[in-house]
Structures are given as C-alpha cells and as structure tokens.
Amino acid sequence: MKKRGSLAQQLASGVYNPVERLEEALYLISRLEEEVNAFITLLPEERLREEAREAQRRILEGKARPLEGVLVAVKDNISVRGLRATAGSKMLSCYKPPYNAHVVERLVDAGAIIVGKTNMDEFAMGSTGEYSAYGPTRNPWDMGRVPGGSSSGSAATLAYAAVDLALGSDTGGSIRLPAAFTATVGLKPTYGAVSRRGLIPYANSLEQIGPMARSVRDLAFLYSVIAGRDPLDATSIDYQPPDPYTLEPRDPEAVRLCVPEEIIDASEAPVKAAFEGLLSRLEAQGATIEYFRAPWTSLVLPAYYTIAMAEAASNLARYDGSLYPCHDSRARTWEELNVEARTRLFGPEVKRRIAMGVLVLSEGYRDEYYVKAAKIRRLVRDRVLGIVRECIIGQPTSPVLPPRLGERLGDPLQLYALDISTVTANLAGVPALQLPVSVEPLPVGAQLMARPRGEVDLFELGLLVEEITGLAGVSAF
C-alpha cells in the first residue's frame, strides 16, 4: 500500500508538476498495464509528453486552468473526439466519435490530460469487469481477483496510480462497486446533475456519468468541473456543485447515520466487521447511529434488472450491423446482416440482457414484469426520499470481498447479487458516495446516500470518515 498526497492540495499550492507526474505514470503503465489490462486505448506517449510540457509552461506563466496537466482516464463508453469508443464491445471496435461528451469538453477546457480510454464490462453490463471483449481487468490489490464493474478499468487505473482522476458511469453501482473493490472513491451523482450527452447508453433513466478519485476532496474537485446544467441534455438539471476548497469534515456530533439492517445481514463477516468498526468509531466521537428495517430490499434487484434490461433492449436495437460497420460481412439482406452482427459481435451477457428486456416488454408480459417493476421503483424512491430527508443512509457498498476471477461468471444470479447495496440509489435518483474503510485483508467500502442535490453532505461526512480511517489517497502501488 502507498499513501499519495492530495491532488487538490498540490494544485492549490502550485507544486503539481505535470511532466514529472506523467513520467511516473508512464513507468507504472509500462510495468503493470499488461497484467492489469485497465486500458483499451492509450494515447501515444509523445503526444502525452507534449501536452504535459505545455501544461507545465502554463503553470509557470501563471495561466493554469483548474485541472492543468492533471492525468485523467475516461471510461470507454464516454465519447472523446477521434478516440475509439468501444463500450467494451466488438460491435463498436472501430467506432471513433466525431465529438466530445459534455464532461470531456469540461475536462479539456479545464486543462486535463486524457491518458486513455478504460476497459469495462461490455455496454456497462456487468459487476466484475470480466465481460469485456478486450479481456478482463485485474484488481491491482490482488491480481487474482476482480476489480468490480462495469467501470473496472477506471477504478484499476486509480488503484495502481496510472492517473490522478477518472470518469466512470453508474447504472446500478458501476462506479461504486469497482471503487469499493479497489479502495478508491466514487460518486453516483444526483440524477441529472452531470450531463449524459456523449455517453453510449445502456439504461437512460438509471445511468449517470460520475467522478472517481483516491480521496474525497479530489473527487469533489473533479465533480466541481463536470457537474452542472447542459442545455443539450434534456435530463440535465440546474445544479451548482459545492466548492471543493471550502469543504470541511462534518462535526461528528452533527452526524445522524441510518443503517438498513437487511444490508448488514446480507454482508459476509469481513465486510460486516469492517463496516461496524467504522460505525463504532463514529459513535465514539458523538455520531448518532440508528438501524432501520428496509423490507423493500428484497424487491430492488428484480425491479432494477427488469427496468435496466428493458431499456437496454431498446437502446441496443440500433446495433444492426449497418450503422457501425466494424466487421466484414457476406450478408445479402438486412435480416442476415442483423443476425450475423449480433451473433458475432455481442457477448453472452449482452445477449442475455437484450433477450430478457424483449421478454419483459412483450405483449402478455409487460404488465406482469415491466409495469410492476416501475411501481416498485416508485415505492422505493418514496421510502428512500422519506429517510434521506432526516439522515444519511450508510451501508456496506458490497456484501462481499472482491471475488476471484471467474468465481461469479457461472451463475448470473450470483453475479447480479453483487449489486444488492447499490441499485437503490439509481432507482431513487439520489446521490451515493463510496469510500474505503479497510484494505486488510482486501478492500472494503462504505456507501453513503443523501437527499437529491445533497452531495455536499456526502463530501463532508466522507472527509470525516477519511480522518477516522486514514485511507485518503491510498493506492496499491
């Protein structure tokens, strides 16, 4: 384990050196990337060095922008002009977007250096990072284990310090779960607080682009750059993110944390012990800890996956082999082309979710499955909003330690069960912050959920938790 200084503090004090930091990152990438497999596309080293030199020049001339020279990784379902955006799929293996996503526009305007596009579960459909057409990503804390998914590469790049900040996307926990498995920090924002323009869609009503970092303050710093209204995104809301430099740890005596008993009961012993250890230390400093029953916990996974698969079936209908022609074809008709492309270019998990999505939307099943799931979603949202008006919900981010590679692939239900703690925030549209609480024997994370637009509450409590755990800025290398 290595403890790294705060990026935000380095930038504020003017000691951040983009040239030196890039050389360190390139060394780590050359040493570890072949085994970790966190990137799908890396930019040429000479181009990166040129950008770092230019950033260093601007810093010395007093013209530095907020993220001048900071190294950032971007998940491969977020569009960067001229770079491949595969979404982890063979279907898009040759697709290069002609435009930047809104969040990428903001990164570029802020002076960030995009190092590359990160590996991910195909079309963001997975919880372990093993469903990529470009091979699985490994966990830098233990190369025999998964880093979580679907933002597997973004979390892994932070865990082995190849970058300073990263972007992921979160449909049901795809930022928070890999952050938990890699001892990093990740935020699923309030729905609409960050523009989704330029994100290759999976399930529009659930997913959000979000920031990832190695500390809460660095995360808040990235969030302050990417969050805010985008007039070209109909789901975007008017939102002013908190100033990362004015954030202070929450007074423990002002903390009221509500913990769902069902999630604690579903967690394996090492996870439960690490999380309850955190609760004990918070309580010892004056925090109020309350337990409550959440009977809807048994309903969130079936409701989430029903809605997500239905939206996935609709979104992925565009991939018929003609719009994104990334393979040689001998098809003579559109039907033959469609069947050939989807057979050859979609992976098994994507095919499974499309099939299930078509089923739950089909005549005779729609009311029984999709409509019922939508009603459960409303029920969950109402219950969660009622709780977060009074307190912050705290629980383990994952019920288990990072699984071994291949351990969960044989049983889809075991795979989907990894999301039991995270999907609630997506169904309710509320913000949720993951941060590490232990790295022994393996990383364990805690998730905090707050009211809509309540990110400042999460950051302040997160800073307090970091003071207690001492894990701000940790990396595996």
Confirm whether 322 is a catalytic residue.
no
Confirm whether 75 is a catalytic residue.
yes
Cα 122 to Cα 209: distance, rounded to the nearest angstrom: 16
Q: Which of 75, 89, 169, 188 is catalytic?
A: 75
SS3 track for the chain: CEECCCHHHHHHHCCCCHHHHHHHHHHHHHHHHHHHCCEEEECCHHHHHHHHHHHHHHHHCCCCCCCCCCEEEEECCECCCCCCCCCCCHHHCCCCCCCCCHHHHHHHHCCCEEEEEECCCHHHCCCCCCCCCCCCCCECCECCECCCCCCHHHHHHHHCCCCCEEEEEECCCCCHHHHHHCCCEEEECCCCCECCCCECCCCCCCCEEEEEECCHHHHHHHHHHHECCCCCCCCCCCCCCCCCCCCCCCCHHHCEEEEEHHHHHHCCHHHHHHHHHHHHHHHHCCCEEEEECCCCHHHHHHHHHHHHHHHHHHHHHHCCCCCCCCCCCCCCCHHHHHHHHHHHHCCHHHHHHHHHHHHHHCCCCCHHHHHHHHHHHHHHHHHHHHHHCCCEEEEECCCCCCCECCCCCCCHHHHHHHHCCCHHHHHHCCCEEEEEEECCCCCEEEEEECCCCCHHHHHHHHHHHHHHHCCCCEECC
Q: Which of 127, 150, 151, 195 is catalytic?
A: 150
Confirm whether 2 is a catalytic residue.
no
Q: Which of 152, 154, 174, 224 is catalytic?
A: 174
Return the active site residues.
75, 150, 174
